[in-house]
Copies of this chain bind each other. A is one copy, B any other.
Amino acid sequence: MSQDTCLIQKLQHYAPLDADSKGKLAELEKETRSFEPGAVIIEKGSRSEMMYVVQSGWAYHYVLLSDGRRQIVKIHHPGDVIGFPDIAYDKSNSTLQACANDLVLCPFPKAEFGGLFVRYPRLSALLFAIAVRDQVLFSDLITATGRMSARERLCYLLLEMRARLRITDTIKGNSFALPLTQTEIGDTLGMTNVYVSKTLKLMEDQDLIARSGARVTLKDLRQMADLCEFHDRHETLDTSWLPAKVGLD
C-alpha cells in the first residue's frame, strides 16, 4: 500500500484502522472513472447498483420538481462515499452531477459493501457512524432552511464547507475555492441565485467574508459562527462504542 487514499485518511481521522481494513478499503478504490465538469453520473430513477468513493473533485445530488424547482440535497467532496441513501432502494432517489471541475470516482458494487459487514465489523460500524453523522448534517441543513434568514444560511454553508474541507485538505488560512455557482448555492439553501448574490454582497460589506473569483475568505469566523449557531460536526466523532477490531478468523 503506497500511501493512504482520501477515504482512508478521512476514516483514520476518527479511528485507527488495521492493515487488513485499509487493504479492503483500497480495494474499493482500485477502479477509477473520470467525468468532465457538469456531467450527470447517476440519473434519478435509474437502477442503483453501484456506490462510489470520491477521489478528486466535487459532485452533488439533486432533486428536480416537475415545474423546474431544484433542491440540492448533498454535496460530495474527496474522500466521501457516494450512494449511502441509494443503498436502501433499487432506484436512485436523486440525480448525481459533477461540479464545475473534473471529477474522479471509484465505483464498486453495492454487494461488495454488504460483504464488509461479515468480515469487518469494526470498519462497518465506523461507516455506520459516518452515515449517522450525515443524518446530523441533514438536521443542520433542515434547521438552516427551515428557520434561518438568508444571511444565516450562507454563514452556515460556508462554515460547514470549511469544517469539512479541513479534515482532508489543509486549508490555508480561512480561504478556500468554492466551485459552485450562485444558483447551486441557492438550490442547496432553498433560495434564489439573485438573493444569494445580494446577500453575499451584504456579507462582504459587513466584512464577514471576502471574495475573489471562485475563492472565498471567511474574515470573521467568530461572528459568523455566532450568527448561525454553528457546530463543527467533522472535527471529532465518538467511536468509543465501536466493537474491537477483530472480525472473523
Contact = CB atoms under 8 A, between A and B. Distances in A.
Interface stretch (A3-11, A81-89, A171-179, A217-225): A81-89
Interface magnitude class on chain A: 35 or more
Interface in A133-171: 133-136, 138-139, 141-143, 145-148
Number of copies: 2
Interface stretch (A31-39, A62-70, A202-210): A62-70
Interface string A212-249: 00000000000000000101010011101111101110
A114 B241 contact: yes
Given A110-B241, A117-B122, A237-B88, A135 B138 contact: yes
Given A147-B70, A241-B114, A85 B139 contact: yes
Given A94-B139, A142-B73, A114 B110 contact: no
A231 B85 CA distance: 14
Contacts of A236: 89
A77 B243 CA distance: 28
Given A134-B135, A136-B88, A147 B241 contact: no
Contacts of A231: 93
Interface stretch (A21-29, A95-103, A123-131, A193-201): A123-131
Contacts of A141: 142
A246 B90 CA distance: 24
A41 interface: no
A242 B94 contact: no
A145 B241 contact: no
A86 B69 CA distance: 32
29 contacts: A63-B139, A65-B229, A71-B142, A71-B146, A73-B139, A73-B143, A84-B132, A84-B135, A85-B135, A85-B136, A88-B133, A89-B233, A89-B236, A90-B238, A90-B240, A93-B136, A93-B139, A94-B139, A110-B240, A114-B241, A117-B117, A117-B125, A118-B247, A121-B121, A135-B135, A138-B139, A138-B142, A145-B145, A248-B248
